[in-house]
Amino acid sequence: MISVIIPAYNRAAFLQEAILSVLGQTYFSGAGRGAWELIIVDDGSEDGTKVLAASFGGPIRYHRQEHKGVSAARNAGLRLARGEWIAFLDSDDIWKPTKISAQMEFMAAHPEAPVCLTEEIWIRRGVRVNPRRKHKQYSGRIFDKVLPICLLSLSSALFRREVFDDIGVFDENLPACEDYDFGIRLAFRYPVYVLPEPLIIKRGGHADQLSHQYWGMDRFRIYALEKSLSFGLSAEEERLVRSEIVKKSRILRDGFRKRGNHAEAEKYEAIIEKMERVFPSA
């Protein structure tokens, strides 16, 4: 079984297209295909999300919880999921019809692969844009690549269920950058594989996106990086992590100073000094 999880919070305006893109998967409609389910986790929405979810037939399961954030919503979906394969879809993103078919074909040919992603089409405020060079996706062992920026697009990923049993679920202490945190854990433990064809459409630029709600997102990334220092890193991996912590701490330190928040600036200055005591070149 393939379990598809859509976390949703006040996204009824986008959710219908996301659901339809799951229902339109060729893999789910072809003869002889395996079982599948779509789990919609309503994270305390106050719009028409419940009514919209109920308007669809098929193997759709609706679960509502009080508003706890996207990590808690995804984790609730994982607890409910019955599948040996897990796929996530953000409520504002859309899958192309052959997305799951292409990934299942790849996974059948590569039984050692724990996760498979695809390339993406980006839409910002209704206009197609090209991802910047720093967002380039890589296949293989990419631990060094995921430290500067999140390269894990959950909407494009198909996971074997045992990945979550091995590295854990989403950190509910993080109000944002939970995908960055999970991506670090994933890339440390496993190789990542990316199909070259763009099989999802990522829509962004709306005001309710988490990246628009928090200033200083590097705060959450530093938290994730500091967690990774307990992973049993090699000396080179530890140097890379500490170097990235220093880079991000300098950005936050300077930003807080400009805002006159000297207490927070000193906090990140202390982190810089602590990192550089271990690796002076960081």
Tens of pLDDT, residue by residue over 234-245, are 999 999 999 999
Q: Do 66 and 100 fall within a single domain? A: yes
Average per-residue pLDDT for the chain? 92
**What is the CATH number for 38?**
3.90.550.10
3-class SS at 160?
Answer: strand
Distance, CA of 71 to CA of 210 (rounded, Å): 12
- pLDDT of residue 17 exceeding 80, the answer is yes
Q: What is the pLDDT of residues 142-164, one digit of tens each?
A: 999 999 999 999 999 999 999 99
**d(Cα 7, Cα 15) in Å, to the nearest integer?**
10
58 band by pLDDT with thresholds 50, 70 and 90: confident
The encoded tokens of residue 282 equal 């960081």
What's the pLDDT at 216?
87
Number of domains composing the chain: 2
- Residue that is last in its domain, among 197, 213, 229: 213
Any idea what DSSP says for residue 47? S
Which segment of 55-59, 69-73, 234-238 scores lowest on mean pLDDT?
Answer: 55-59
Task: Give the end of a domain, one of 213, 243, 268.
Answer: 213
Domain boundary among 213, 234, 253: 213
> Where would I find the H helices in the chain?
12-23, 26-29, 49-54, 70-80, 99-109, 143-146, 162-167, 178-189, 210-213, 218-228, 235-258, 262-278
Closest CA to 84 of 169, 168, 186, 1: 1
User: With 60 as the cut, is the pLDDT of residue 212 above it?
Assistant: no
Strand partners, 120: 200
Element (H, E) at 222: helix 218-228
Q: How far is Cα 22 from Cα 69, in angstroms, rounded to an integer? A: 23
pLDDT band at 135 (very low <50, low <70, confident <90, very high): confident
Mean pLDDT of 19-48: 89
Share of the chain above pLDDT 90, in %: 82
Confidence of residue 189 (pLDDT cuts 50, 70, 90): very high
Same domain? For 178 and 273 the reply is: no
In a 13 Å sphere around the CA of 171, the CA atoms on its Cβ side amount to 21
Residues 261 and 150 in one domain: no
| Residue 273 confidence (pLDDT) above 70 | yes
Q: Structural domain of residue 95, as residue ranges?
A: 2-213
The predicted structure's pLDDT at residue 134: 84
DSSP string, 193-249: EEEEEEEEEEEE--TTSHHHH-S-THHHHHHHHHHHTTS---HHHHHHHHHHHHHHH
238 and 206 inside one domain: no
